Chain A
């Protein structure tokens, strides 16, 4: 790096760096390292932790519930990542050539869920889905679809999509906003050229808009994948992982093992696996989507 005119001697530079770094080290980085260590022990929270090496990880990968949690998480990614991404791109392509005011109004409404606390959204949706007096089933009955009025959050088969739809609702407006700015970044002459060449709207979308949106697609994928792996608030407030593990995800399992069963070593191992998973997927997205966008730009 080029030396800035503001650069000073090394030990006076630390004055600016240290306060933030120390606090971060004490309450974030330290605990992360401690979680790594804790995951190698067996600990009930009271007695001295017992070293078990990779024992917790071995146990975890022969634990059926952990696989259920991983599979549920993978299925939830359809609702956290795929649907919002697809909906977001489609909507952005529809909305971007509307008039400024109308675009702003639609954006405001569709983006609204994203600024809400997911824990509170979970509580609100648990009420919307309530089988007896929930608005959702009342609506279905009112429009003559009463046979579909299910106990959504109590039904083993439908609970995962029911929770997933909330995540889709939460994210799709956010995705649309990111894609809208992406489209506005694209050189307008490309669209004009396509028009002169007589390209259809669909062709323009697939051959110009979509490829040039790769950087935004990458960002959206990163954020939604991470959100799906760390999903806790929404699921905890809606179902607590039930019924019968149908919505169990790693972080809910981590909470149960740690704060309900006092098996903190095993819980820490899940947390570490979750963090590693985030890194791996992050890296993969950077590799797959990232290199492509560079090639086209």
Chain B
């Protein structure tokens, strides 16, 4: 980058401060990792002391005795349909808002954006009674269906604005060739939308994996709890067993860190594109 050369190099002192800040920022995660491989006796030696040898059995304890095996699979069972259905429905609705005309277009769009601004906390009570009425409390559907519905505004707006960037000539050519609309969506629009769709899927994965309120209110059976909820109830049951608690926390966040490191450029590009739109 040419412009960089015009700027004097940052002073060493400033860089040291920045790196110190970065270190302090990730310290909670480092402490978490360190504590997760300690024995209970090691913990009493102080939070910063190293264990004599790593106690990986904490992970086994968390996985089995702490039920993190159940929570982990529940998170997977919930996250896959939520991401898949949200992207699929977002494609259809986004296609409609990008290209099609229908009555009350502006009103419907406003109603949709409303759902992006109103937090789930505001409508959780009616939602709880609706799910109860439908007999869905304590099922996977209770966690999956509302989260798909809640992601529709973002998916729609995100994909519609990406579709509007597509060159219209390609679509016109396809129409002139006599292709049907659903065929065009499937064979022309979707392949061009892969980058946008994967960014969207990444966001939806993280949000769904992290969701607390929906599973907290709509599920109270341990068999259907997702990881963040499992962690809360584990904390309640085993307050004293810090190594196993921290091992559980590592199980919750490891997939997030992994995804983040692999897709970090795409993630931040999508974030800033979405944020500044």
Show the binding face of A for B, using Cβ within 8 Å. 1, 3-8, 10, 12-14, 16-17, 19-21, 23-24, 26-32, 34-35, 38, 45, 91, 94-95, 97-100, 102, 105-113, 115-120, 123-128, 133-135, 138-139, 142, 169, 173, 177-178, 181-182, 188, 191-192, 195, 215-216, 219, 223, 226, 229-230, 232-233, 237, 251, 254, 258-259, 264, 267-268, 271-272, 274-275, 278-279, 282
What are 15 residue pairs bridging A and B, where the CB atoms are less than 8 Å apart in the complex?
A: A17-B102, A20-B92, A27-B146, A28-B123, A28-B150, A29-B111, A34-B130, A35-B125, A38-B125, A97-B9, A98-B15, A109-B26, A123-B231, A177-B272, A232-B121
A31 near B130 (CB under 8 angstroms)?
A: yes
Secondary structure dominating the interface of B: helix
Q: What residues on B are CB-neighbors of A38 within 8 Å?
A: 125-126
Q: What residues on A are CB-neighbors of B14 within 8 Å?
A: 94
B175 near A5 (CB under 8 angstroms)?
A: yes
User: A29-B115, A192-B6 in contact; A20/B31 too (CB < 8 A)?
Assistant: no
Stretch at the interface among B53-61, B62-70, B193-201, B210-218: B210-218
Q: What residues on B are CB-neighbors of A106 within 8 Å?
A: 18-19, 22
A223: nearest chain-B partner, CB-CB: B275
User: A32-B115, A138-B46 in contact; A16/B95 too (CB < 8 A)?
Assistant: yes
* Interface residue B77 (Cβ < 8 Å from any Cβ of A): no
Q: What's the least CB distance linking A41 to chain B, in Å?
A: 11
**Set A109, A120, A195: member contacting B228, Cβ < 8 A:** A120
**Set B3, B105, B148, B212: member contacting A119, Cβ < 8 A:** B212
B130 near A6 (CB under 8 angstroms)?
A: no
Q: What's the least CB distance linking A10 to chain B, in Å?
A: 6
**Set B3, B28, B206: member contacting A128, Cβ < 8 A:** B28
A195 near B6 (CB under 8 angstroms)?
A: yes
Q: What residues on A are CB-neighbors of B155 within 8 Å?
A: 20
Q: What's the least CB distance linking B208 to chain A, in Å?
A: 10
A177 near B268 (CB under 8 angstroms)?
A: yes
How far, in angstroms, from A279 to B206 measured CA to CA in the complex? 26
B120-176 interface (Cβ within 8 A of A)? 121-127, 129-130, 145-146, 148-150, 152-153, 155-156, 168, 171-172, 175
Please give the number of chain B residues whose Cβ is less than 8 angstroms from any Cβ of chain A in the complex: 101
**Set B48, B209, B260: member contacting A112, Cβ < 8 A:** B260
Q: What's the least CB distance linking A290 to chain B, in Å?
A: 13
User: A109-B25, A142-B48, A272-B122 in contact; A4/B31 too (CB < 8 A)?
Assistant: no
B22 near A20 (CB under 8 angstroms)?
A: no
Q: What residues on B are CB-neighbors of A1 within 8 Å?
A: 101, 105
How far, in angstroms, from A110 to B29 measured CA to CA in the complex? 12
User: A5-B172, A20-B156, A28-B149 in contact; A274/B31 too (CB < 8 A)?
Assistant: no
Q: What residues on A are CB-neighbors of B43 within 8 Å?
A: 133
How far, in angstroms, from A216 to B274 measured CA to CA in the complex? 11
B11: nearest chain-A partner, CB-CB: A94
**Set B93, B122, B206: member contacting A32, Cβ < 8 A:** B122
A258 near B249 (CB under 8 angstroms)?
A: no
B114 near A29 (CB under 8 angstroms)?
A: yes
Given contacts A13-B102, A115-B260, A117-B211, 6 further A-B contacts (CB under 8 A): A32-B122, A45-B129, A97-B7, A117-B212, A169-B25, A278-B117
Q: What's the least CB distance linking A77 to chain B, in Å?
A: 16
B25 near A27 (CB under 8 angstroms)?
A: no
A278 near B118 (CB under 8 angstroms)?
A: yes
* Interface residue B52 (Cβ < 8 Å from any Cβ of A): no
How far, in angstroms, from A102 to B26 measured CA to CA in the complex? 16
How far, in angstroms, from A21 to B3 measured CA to CA in the complex? 47
Q: What residues on B are CB-neighbors of A20 within 8 Å?
A: 89-90, 92-93, 152, 155-156
**Set B98, B100, B121: member contacting A271, Cβ < 8 A:** B121
Q: What residues on B are CB-neighbors of A112 within 8 Å?
A: 25-26, 29, 257, 260
A117 near B115 (CB under 8 angstroms)?
A: no
